[in-house]
Structures are given as C-alpha cells and as structure tokens.
Amino acid sequence: MKRLLILPLLLLAAAAPAGKEAPAGKPMEKILDFASIPAGEGWTKSEKAEQGDPQLRQEKGLHVITARLAGGPASRYKKPAEFLGGFEARSIGGKPAEKTGTAVVSGARVVLYKRKVPGALPPPDESGPYETILEHFCVVPAGKRFFILSYSYGDTTPDPSFDGERAWRDFLKAFSVKKR
C-alpha cells in the first residue's frame, strides 16, 4: 500500500525535464575523490558530467562500464528512489528494470538490475525496427549520495573474444566507496 502511495510522487519527480543544460559555474567534482574505481587492462577511461553528475566511463571496444556519482547539488536525482522510479531505470516502453540478483559492492548488499535500451536506431522520422541491448546496473550508497554503476555491450551480436559480464562482476567486487 505504501508503495502505491509513493509511486505517484516518484513518477512526478522522475518525469522532471531531462533537457536542461547543467548550470555552469563550479568545476566538476572529481569522481575518484569519492571512490576507488578499478581499471581493467586495455580499457580506456574518460571523465565527464552526465545529467549534472560526475561520471567515469571505461570502454573496451563496445563494452562500456560507467560509475556515476548522483545526489549532488547539480544532480537530476537527489535520492536513489528518484532514479529507480525514473526513465533511466526502465526499459523502453516504461517497464521497470528487472531484478537479476544481489551482490555485495563496497560492503553493501545491493540489488542488480537489467533493462532493455535502444541500440542502433533508424533516423527519427522512420519507424523501422530498432535494436535493443541490455544494460546492467546497480545503485551503491555513498553517504548522502549514491553511485550508479552500469555495464552494457553496444551491439546485439555478442563479443566472442571477451566476457564483458565477467568483467562487470569483477568490477563490482573491486569497486570501493571512499570514507569522507
């Protein structure tokens, strides 16, 4: 019952416009000040802001692992529940992400999710079929803030030469929130 009461509030918060450009001013926080983020061999790293949050993106071919620190002053999401109720935690069509299990990440047991996201798309005026790929993600508490960790492989044909999901599990084991 409580969930039913909370849901409309989450929907309202989650439906907030996504298009606003991040306010200029303060320099972006360094995400590595907040967590020890493991780096695998052969992965390239880049840091940038994603919807107001500092994010570290690691890529190996089409395998992508991201660590994003949400809940900060410029974040679209102040609480994990806002993120989990919003578009970024749902499959295309709006179905909430599917729970696939749990894992201990940085000392906390967290729920692992997967959702279907669009892959390659036809031009916006065409209605042809589009590819969907899987995104795996979880939310890890970090004091008053939280990390959104994710893994995806950007193609519908899997990579026969590299086990990305294993790399993801190894990443989760080694990820550690710093005490501040």
Mask for 144-173, x = binds another protein (CB under 8 A): -----------xxxxxxx-x----------
Using the rule CB under 8 A, is 20 a contact of another protein? yes
Measuring CA to CA, which residue among 111, 120, 154 is closest to residue 134?
154
Site for another protein in 87-106 (CB under 8 A): 87-88, 90-95
Contact between residue 65 and residue 151 where contact means Cβ atoms under 8 Å apart:
yes
Task: Give the interface segment with another protein, choosing from 35-43, 85-93, 102-110, 170-178 (CB under 8 A).
Answer: 85-93
Site for another protein in 116-145 (CB under 8 A): 116, 118, 121-130, 132
Contact between residue 125 and residue 119 where contact means Cβ atoms under 8 Å apart:
no
5: three-class secondary structure by DSSP: helix
Using the rule CB under 8 A, is 46 a contact of another protein? no
